[in-house]
Amino acid sequence: MTAQVTRKQMRTVFAETVIESLATDPRVVMLTADISSWFFWEVKKDFPDRVHNFGIREQAMIDIAGGFALAGQRPVVHTYAPFLVERPFEQIKIGLGHQDVGAVLVSVGASYDDPSWGRTHQAPGDVALLDTLPGWTVHVPGHEDEVAPLLSKAIAGDNRVYVRLSERANSEAVPVSEKFTVLRRGKAGVVLAVGPVLDQVLAATATADVTVLYASTIRPFDHAGLREAVAAAAPNVVLVEPYLRGTSAFEVTEALGDVPHRLRSFGTWRDREARVYGTPEEHDRLFGVDAESLADSIARFVG
């Protein structure tokens, strides 16, 4: 397992990428609310006016990002997922969206990276929440090597981008693409794996006759890619997302509006809180997104 020892956290790659962009792009400003602020202590000495830690003030931070964008800067805004998206949600809607300015929001913590912290530090609804607002690009990298290319492109642009980092990662990276990547082809159905659930999806479908698609960019949703895959297999679609179950179900329905199909969605619960601590793997089993549960569910669905 020496490879794992040398692997970087997604969060580390994020910090390295932003630090590099601060030196090369004068538009870039980095805003934190204490979380991960230590990554930027050194670079703040070089760019005191472009690196800010505002303390634990997330509502102000998001609107301040909007203000930076109004002045022509490119804000990168970071904190733990629930405090980045859920707490200041109206600031995201008004301070960024309604002003029609952009920012790159980068979260950590995902849905249940460390469930021992409990519900307060879980944000399984973040992508679904952003789905209520127009114009957001959403990246869900599944491996640390996917972070830099996705983030660099996001920073170089002008639009509203959410990058959902996780402390969990697949064993291997998939080259990033705006389109869904076909990892396997089969006839009985199409399984879409989003970000860091790919390992268990590949394990679950190792002997199944299904097409496996992978997405590290889930908004915009690759309608054409899904249609293409469904055209070459039975129209049985399985969605495996590392956040609220069925978050992308409406996109699947849109993509396949004229194609009779069946859809089964996997992810975290919608109807109740998982009021338990423990490990991420234990929560995978609870939600039925561990390899064994998925293998069973998918086999029954496409079989």
Partner 1 sequence: MQMTEENLRGLFGRMTGDEKHGWAAASTLHAIWVLYERVLNVSPSNIDDPGRDRFYLSKGHGPMAYYAVLAAKGFIEPETLDTWRQWGSPLGMHPDRNLAPGVEISSGSLGHGLPLGVGTALGLRAQGRDARVVVLMGDGEFDEGSNHETMAIAGRLGLGSLTAVVIDNKTASLGWPGGIAGRFEQEGWAATTVDGRDHDALEKALTGETDGRPRAVIAEILPIEEGSTA
Interaction between residue 160 and partner 1 (CB under 8 A): no
- How many residues bind partner 1, per CB under 8 A? 30
13, 15, 30, 64: residue in contact with partner 1 (rule CB under 8 A): 64
CA distance 77 to 93: 15
Interaction between residue 82 and partner 1 (CB under 8 A): no
Residue range at the interface with partner 1 (CB under 8 A); choices 58-66, 111-119, 123-131, 251-259 = 58-66
Interaction between residue 159 and partner 1 (CB under 8 A): no
* Dihedral (Cα; 88, 92, 96, 99), 10-degree rounding: -100
Please choose, from the candidates 140, 138, 143, the residue with its C-alpha nearest in 3D space to the C-alpha of residue 162.
138
Residue range at the interface with partner 1 (CB under 8 A); choices 5-13, 59-67, 175-183, 295-303 = 59-67
Maximum pairwise Cα distance, the chain: 60
Please choose, from the candidates 168, 11, 166, 31, the residue with its C-alpha nearest in 3D space to the C-alpha of residue 96.
31
Interaction between residue 70 and partner 1 (CB under 8 A): yes
CA distance 230 to 217: 19
| Integer angstrom CA distances of residue 276 from 50, 62, 110, 114, 282 | 40, 31, 17, 11, 10
42, 100, 254, 296: residue in contact with partner 1 (rule CB under 8 A): 100
Interaction between residue 260 and partner 1 (CB under 8 A): no
Cβ atoms within 10 Å, residue 186:
18
38, 42, 98, 159: residue in contact with partner 1 (rule CB under 8 A): 98
Interaction between residue 195 and partner 1 (CB under 8 A): no
Interaction between residue 102 and partner 1 (CB under 8 A): no
Please choose, from the candidates 136, 158, 43, the residue with its C-alpha nearest in 3D space to the C-alpha of residue 85.
136
Closer CB to partner 1, 133 or 182, in the complex: 133
Report the nearest approach of partner 1 to the CB of residue 99 (Å).
Answer: 6
Beta strands in 103-256 (DSSP E): 103-108, 136-139, 160-164, 181-184, 190-194, 211-215, 217-219, 236-244
Closer CB to partner 1, 59 or 293, in the complex: 59
Residues 17-56 that bind partner 1 (CB under 8 A): 29, 49-50, 52, 54-55
Cβ neighbours for 206, distance < 8 A, ≥ 6 positions apart: none
Contacts to partner 1 by CB under 8 A: 29, 49-50, 52, 54-55, 57, 59-73, 75, 90-91, 94-95, 98-100
